[in-house]
């Protein structure tokens, strides 16, 4: 497909939309069909921490020591090439145009679609005001509102402190970092009582964020908490094991 130009001169926008972001060949979407076929792999996953079941063999399941658990979790992808690079662009390089692409992929997954359809509220993991000012948007809200525009609210769960970016911390530090970080808007708490909630996040790493949000929501007496994430991180051993299984 040839690049097109429009009157407003959005050259960069159109260029990124027409070159596959993995192989750099012309493509009708963010990724070309070949790259999508190669890299879009689905796995059976743990229903709590969304780790691929095969990856569990490299160690015990990540969620065995989770204190606060969702009723169900779904992850669309593993946080590996090229998805890690695309998500990084989406999150850190202001490429908010990737939201429609990711939302479309998420909604093509039948169990994610069904989970969203039966939800009463689809709530993004909130960012602090300071982080939104830096980034310009909350990437998880961008996904949530595209998937479930009628059910998505960015301000029911609030992030009360600006804490160090989770990516720079180890597992123990992350859990500590998030204690008491999430609170409900007191004027909206009654809305979610006995309701089915879906939490949306871009990446699930240690589960510290999800556990902290579950603790907050469970205190508010919701009926059910499910989690939908774009990508799940794996340890190096887990990635190696999955690649060995894939080679056969
Ligand atoms: Zn490609
Ligand atoms: Zn698990």
**Span from the CA of 108 to the centroid of ligand 1 (angstroms):** 20
What pLDDT does residue 69 have?
A: 95
- How confident is the model over 43-74, as pLDDT tens digits? 999 999 999 987 666 566 879 889 999 999 99
For the chain, what are the domain ranges? 1-39, 40-247
The ligand with the least distance to the CA atom of 19 is: 1
Ligand 2 centroid distance, CA of 207 (Å):
10
CB atoms within 10 A of CB 173: 14
Q: What is the pLDDT of residues 118-173, one digit of tens each?
A: 999 999 999 998 899 999 999 999 999 999 999 999 999 999 876 666 667 777 77
What is the CATH T-level fold of the domain 40-247, as seen in this structure?
Rossmann fold (3.40.50)
The token pair at 133 is 């000012």
Residue 149 alpha carbon to ligand 2 centre in Å:
29
Taking alpha carbons only, the member of 131, 120, 130 closest to residue 156 is: 120
Strand partners, 157: 184
Model pLDDT for residues 168-183, shown as the tens digit of each residue: 777 777 666 666 789 9
Ligand 2 centroid distance, CA of 55 (Å): 10
Whole-angstrom distance, CA of residue 4 vs CA of residue 10: 10
pLDDT digits (tens, 9 = 90+) for 74-123: 999 999 999 999 999 999 988 898 999 999 999 999 999 999 999 999 99
Q: Give the Å distance between the CA of 112 and the centre of ligand 2.
A: 17
Model's pTM, two decimal places?
0.86
């Amino acid at each position: 497909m040839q690049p097109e130009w429009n009157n407003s001169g959005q050259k960069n926008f159109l260029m990124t939309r027409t070159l596959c972001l993995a192989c750099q060949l012309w493509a009708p979407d963010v990724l070309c069909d070949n790259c999508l076929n190669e890299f879009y792999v689905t796995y059976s996953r743990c229903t709590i921490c969304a780790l691929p079941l095969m990856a569990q063999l490299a160690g015990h399941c990540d969620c065995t020591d989770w204190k606060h658990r969702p009723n169900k979790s779904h992850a669309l992808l593993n946080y590996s090439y090229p998805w890690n690079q695309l998500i990084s662009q989406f999150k850190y390089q202001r490429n908010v145009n990737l939201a429609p692409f990711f939302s479309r992929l998420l909604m093509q997954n039948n169990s994610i679609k069904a989970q969203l359809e039966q939800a009463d509220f689809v709530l993004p993991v909130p960012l602090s005001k300071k982080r939104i000012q830096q980034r310009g948007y909350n990437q998880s809200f961008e996904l949530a509102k595209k998937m479930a525009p009628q059910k998505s609210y960015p301000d029911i769960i609030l992030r009360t402190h600006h804490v160090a970016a989770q990516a720079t911390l180890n597992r123990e530090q992350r859990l500590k970092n998030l204690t008491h970080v999430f609170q409900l808007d007191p004027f909206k708490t009654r809305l979610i009582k006995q309701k089915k909630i879906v939490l949306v996040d871009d990446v699930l790493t240690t589960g510290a964020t999800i556990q902290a949000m579950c603790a907050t929501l469970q205190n508010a007496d919701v009926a059910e908490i499910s989690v939908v994430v774009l990508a799940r991180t794996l340890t190096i051993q887990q990635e190696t094991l999955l690649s060995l299984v894939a080679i056969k």
